[in-house]
């Protein structure tokens, strides 16, 4: 089977890179822009309308111990199988990407061994409808000219492991890195017949990687893949939510304006040492600052604790939760409910953006500019004319 996705019905706006496209995974159609479902925070009765999402995203993080357990211990293997099945059921059997992250224990940076790669690939393949190359963020953060060939060797080992018995498309892993490496990664994938990619922003803003994104698009165009690619993105930041600001701009949604097709979740683990996070807990109220509700009407993420009586107006009438799950629920339930509302609103907004491209392709920048919390600096970066 071909490792490529067959892209159809491609359309791009005139003034930004906001675009729409269609492809099928198995016998199920995927239409973009889309927000992939993350069902891990869903309540038992949570339902997202099937028309609002095209993909389901499952995300597991492994180290050497947990990999050994899933490979050798029945309880660990059954647990992951159960979680994967539950996620597919809750997503109404949307095509699933099971993204895996390998983070070895300790401070040292290392690649997974060949045996660990086999376990990672077996897991990703078993739970996915399009098989992802596992991410290795600790390694990716330390890439340089002298070590980059080792990264390409890792990608090749993963590809080879998948192709031993492959009947599915492959989605390639792209870390945020320098333009030189981005171009080489794209060429590796295209050489291997792969035109679907997921970009791991590793908890950073999309706007801080303009040169890498442009290098990616230029290389795809050189290879004849400008209109024949799919870009999923995960772990993107909308700003430093640990700050005390009441509202932060929804910069994650602006990723669609950069030509990215599918928004995934934020699955970040700790990137700093334990002492830093202990200091942070003592100086910031992390729950209050990170528990934020999206208002898609103005592209703002609002601190829930500052909304007061306005919170009832902020919760959409079609939200897949009860208002009481946010207004009067215990903190843990409120946090889950806010995440569900945000995901639902991101799903709704992605369908709106499809219509904007179809009906007003010359006014997509104007659409983003109509959102009160979108910054002028971000609008400039989105504009094709300012980048020409």
Cα 184 → chain centroid:
22
Q: Provide the pLDDT for residue 387.
A: 58
- In degrees rounded to 5, what are phi and psi of residue 316? -60, 150
Rounded-to-integer distance, Cα 186 and Cα 172, Å: 9
What is the structure's pLDDT at 88? Answer: 96
Tell me the C-alpha distance between 195 and 225, whole Å. 8
Q: What does the pLDDT read at residue 240?
A: 63
Please, are residues 100 and 58 in contact by the beta-carbon 8 Å criterion? no
Residue 385 CA to residue 388 CA, distance in Å, equals 5
Give the pLDDT confidence of 255-266 residue by residue, as tens digits. Answer: 999 999 999 999
Structure tokens at 325: 């799950």
Between CA 334 and CA 342 the distance in angstroms is 12
pTM of the model: 0.94
pLDDT, tens digit (0-9, with 9 covering 90-100), for 347-370: 999 999 999 999 999 999 999 999
pLDDT for res 283: 47
> Which pLDDT value is given to residue 2?
75
pLDDT for res 273 = 56
What is the number of alpha carbons within 13 Å of residue 151 lying toward its C-beta?
27
| Under-70 pLDDT residues of the chain | 1, 240-243, 269-289, 386-388
| pLDDT one-digit tens code per residue, 192-212 | 999 999 999 999 999 999 999
Q: Compute the distance between CA of residue 212 and CA of residue 357 in angstroms, rounded to an integer.
A: 24
Whether residue 33 has a cis bond before it, omega within 30° of 0: yes
pLDDT for 70 equals 98
Give, in degrees to the nearest 5, the angle at Cα 364 between 359 and 370. 115
Domains of the chain plus CATH, in order, are 8-387 (3.20.20)
Cβ(135)–Cβ(100) under 8 Å? Answer: yes
Query: Cα(36)–Cα(234) distance, rounded to whole angstroms?
Result: 10
């Amino acid at each position: 089977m071909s490792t490529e996705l067959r892209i159809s019905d491609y359309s791009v706006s005139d003034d930004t890179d906001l675009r729409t496209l269609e492809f099928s995974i198995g016998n199920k159609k995927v239409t973009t822009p889309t927000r992939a479902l993350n069902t891990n925070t869903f309540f038992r009765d949570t339902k997202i309308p099937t028309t609002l999402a095209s993909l389901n995203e499952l995300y597991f993080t492994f180290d050497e111990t947990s990999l050994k357990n899933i490979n050798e211990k029945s309880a660990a293997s059954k647990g992951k199988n159960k979680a994967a099945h539950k996620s597919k059921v809750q997503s109404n059997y949307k095509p699933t990407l099971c993204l895996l992250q390998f983070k070895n224990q300790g401070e040292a940076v290392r690649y997974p061994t060949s045996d660990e790669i086999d376990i990672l690939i077996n897991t990703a393949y078993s739970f996915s409808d399009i098989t992802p190359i596992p991410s290795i963020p600790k390694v990716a953060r330390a890439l340089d000219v002298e070590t980059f060939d080792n990264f390409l060797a890792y990608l090749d080992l993963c590809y080879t492991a998948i192709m031993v018995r492959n009947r599915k498309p492959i989605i390639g892993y792209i870390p945020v890195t320098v333009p030189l490496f981005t171009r080489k990664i794209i060429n590796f994938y295209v050489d291997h017949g792969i035109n679907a990619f997921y970009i791991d922003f590793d908890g950073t803003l999309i706007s801080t990687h303009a040169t890498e994104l442009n290098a990616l698009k230029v290389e795809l165009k050189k290879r004849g893949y400008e209109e024949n690619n799919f870009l999923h993105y995960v772990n993107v930041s909308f700003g430093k939510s640990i700050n005390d600001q009441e509202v932060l701009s929804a910069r994650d949604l602006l990723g669609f304006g950069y030509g990215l097709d599918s928004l995934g979740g934020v699955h970040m683990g700790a990137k700093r040492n334990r002492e830093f996070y202990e200091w942070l807990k003592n100086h910031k109220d992390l729950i209050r600052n990170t528990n934020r509700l999206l208002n898609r009407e103005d592209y703002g993420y609002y601190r829930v604790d500052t909304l007061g009586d306005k919170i009832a107006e902020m919760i959409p009438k079609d939200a897949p939760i009860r208002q009481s799950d946010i207004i009067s629920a215990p903190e843990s339930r409120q946090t889950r409910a806010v995440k569900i509302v945000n995901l639902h609103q991101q799903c709704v907004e992605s369908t709106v953006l499809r219509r904007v491209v179809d009906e007003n392709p010359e006014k997509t920048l104007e659409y983003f500019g109509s959102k009160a919390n979108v910054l002028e600096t971000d609008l400039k970066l989105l504009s094709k004319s300012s980048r020409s």
